[in-house]
């Protein structure tokens, strides 16, 4: 059948005349369209019921692969740098030990108070007060606040602060206030809280 005959047959065909039982006598173009529709339905159904789930599973597997690859790279990096990490750990332990040795024990606190007193007098200051406050416990150490009140010139106060920072024990200064004294204008009164730290081993 020529193309012209097929088109003529298709124009003369009425959709209402379709009968599945007489599918054999349908015009060729109609048969072709029906075959294409059935093929499309088969392909769509196959994708929906079979291939789609496979794509979802593939995405899940690819994500799992990426996670495993990332974990592998992290572990491989750790293994490759294990000796470096061990050396750093030893260095950190040595540094920590050195810092801990700078923390006074309870029996050394009187010596620390004496050092602060001598530092103030050595800087030319007039010492008004050096008073130890109640201990404040932290995680693995305790803070020992010391109220200090001294008076002197600006340069003497600066020398005192610098000397306290240079003490062999760890001492930090907080809540520093400076105001002129009632007398000579060059004289200043300084009140500060010095905090030293005690390592709480085995407490």
Q: What is the pLDDT of residues 165-188, one digit of tens each?
A: 888 878 888 998 988 887 666 788
- Average pLDDT (119-145) is 86
Q: Which residues pair with 179 in a beta bridge?
A: 189
Q: What is the pLDDT of residues 53-82, one digit of tens each?
A: 676 777 888 888 888 888 888 888 887 888
Domain 103-199 has CATH 3.30.70.60: yes
> Count of alpha carbons within 13 Å of 36, Cβ hemisphere only?
6
The model's pTM: 0.49
Beta strands, E only, the chain:
126-132, 136-137, 141-152, 171-180, 188-199
Q: Which of 7-21, 39-53, 74-88, 103-117 has the lowest mean pLDDT?
A: 7-21
Q: Where in the chain is the domain with CATH 3.30.70.60?
A: 103-199
DSSP string, 109-145: HHHHHHHHHHHHHHTTPEEEEEEEPPPEE-SSEEEEE
- Average pLDDT (108-121) is 85
pLDDT for 132 equals 86
């Amino acid at each position: 059948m020529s193309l012209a005959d097929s088109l003529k047959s298709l124009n003369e065909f009425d959709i209402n005349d379709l009968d599945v039982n007489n599918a054999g006598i349908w015009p060729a173009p109609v048969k072709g369209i029906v075959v294409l529709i059935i093929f499309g339905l088969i392909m769509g159904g196959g994708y929906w019921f079979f291939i789609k789930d496979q794509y979802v599973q593939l995405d899940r597997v690819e994500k799992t692969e990426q996670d495993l690859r990332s974990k592998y790279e992290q572990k491989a990096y750790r293994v490759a740098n294990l000796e470096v990490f061990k050396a750093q750990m030893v260095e950190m332990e040595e540094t920590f030990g050195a810092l801990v040795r700078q923390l006074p024990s309870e029996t050394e606190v009187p010596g620390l108070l004496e050092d602060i007193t001598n530092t103030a007098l050595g800087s030319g200051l007039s010492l008004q007060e050096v008073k130890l406050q109640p201990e404040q416990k932290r995680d693995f150490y305790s803070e020992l606040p010391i109220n200090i009140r001294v008076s002197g010139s600006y340069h003497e106060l600066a020398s005192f602060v610098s000397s306290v920072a240079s003490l062999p024990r760890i001492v930090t200064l907080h809540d520093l206030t400076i105001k002129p004294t009632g007398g000579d204008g060059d004289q200043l009164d300084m009140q500060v809280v010095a905090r030293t730290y005690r390592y709480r081993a085995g407490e």
